[in-house]
Amino acid sequence: MEEAPVEHKKEEEEPAKQEEPEEEEEEEEPEPTLPPSEVSEEEIKQRLSEGCYRKMPFSDISHKALSECYLSFTLPQGSEKTPRGLLAFDSIKFVWDDRAVATQRLQSWIKSHKIVEKVPSITGPTDWFKQQMEAWMNTKLEWRKAQRLYKEEQAKGTTEEKAKTQEEDEGEKEPRR
């Protein structure tokens, strides 16, 4: 009885030994190499000028809050102070580009949002506009009335002229007989 389990263990060890060389053979196969990517300096500059900001699945700020306050966005200034009168920043470093490029990017971002964003502070026409609109409508009505009177006078004049010419034609025709 004791001999049978020993033989069984030997059989288990033999397949394990056979599997090890197969693993070594798989590791020896070389991985395919990819050709090196070729990107020119112009392409890099173009992509960086377009902006390389990661699109997030969720916004950090709500759309309504952004549309209300994006016009007040600025870059930090060294002379800014806290409400207590202390300097707000010890130093300001622009790691990726200089201040001029950062300012230009912020301004272009604000301009692009001015085109797209809805302005919530516009509520409707003001009293001044309503007064100007009423004055314009009154002026327009006066002009239309004057135009209508002019056309009526022209129409009367043409009918009177036609009547006179007809009378003259009739008057001229009668004496000829």
Highest mean pLDDT among 36-40, 53-57, 68-72: 68-72
**Residue where a domain stops, chosen among 81, 98, 116:** 116
Which of the two residues, 96 and 102, has the higher pLDDT score? 102
pLDDT digits (tens, 9 = 90+) for 117-131: 877 777 888 999 999
Regarding whether 94 and 129 lie in a shared domain, the answer is no
C-beta of residue 96 within 8 angstroms of C-beta of residue 112: no
* Containing structural domain, residue 134: 124-172
pLDDT digits (tens, 9 = 90+) for 75-96: 888 888 888 888 888 888 888 8
Regarding whether 100 and 131 lie in a shared domain, the answer is no
Residue 168 forms part of a structural domain: yes
Across residues 147-167, what is the average pLDDT? 85
**What are phi and psi for residue 24, nearest 5 degrees?**
-65, -35
pLDDT bucket at 1, cuts 50 / 70 / 90: very low
| Degrees, nearest 5: CA angle 101-73-124 | 130
Highest mean pLDDT among 27-36, 39-48, 82-91: 82-91
C-beta of residue 42 within 8 angstroms of C-beta of residue 93: no
Taking the whole predicted model, whether its pTM rises above 0.85 is answered as: no
HEC profile of 10-73: HHHHHHHHHHHHHHHHHHHCCCCCCCCCCCCHHHHHHHHHHCCCCCCCCCCCCHHHHHHHHHHC
pLDDT bucket at 52, cuts 50 / 70 / 90: low
Which of the two residues, 8 and 171, has the higher pLDDT score? 171
Q: Which residues contact 51 (CB under 8 A, 6 or more apart)?
A: 105, 109
Regarding whether 141 and 106 lie in a shared domain, the answer is no
Q: How many domains does the chain have?
A: 2
In whole numbers, what is the pLDDT of the chain averaged over residues? 78
Highest mean pLDDT among 24-33, 118-127, 152-161: 152-161
Residue 128 forms part of a structural domain: yes
Across residues 25-32, what is the average pLDDT? 65
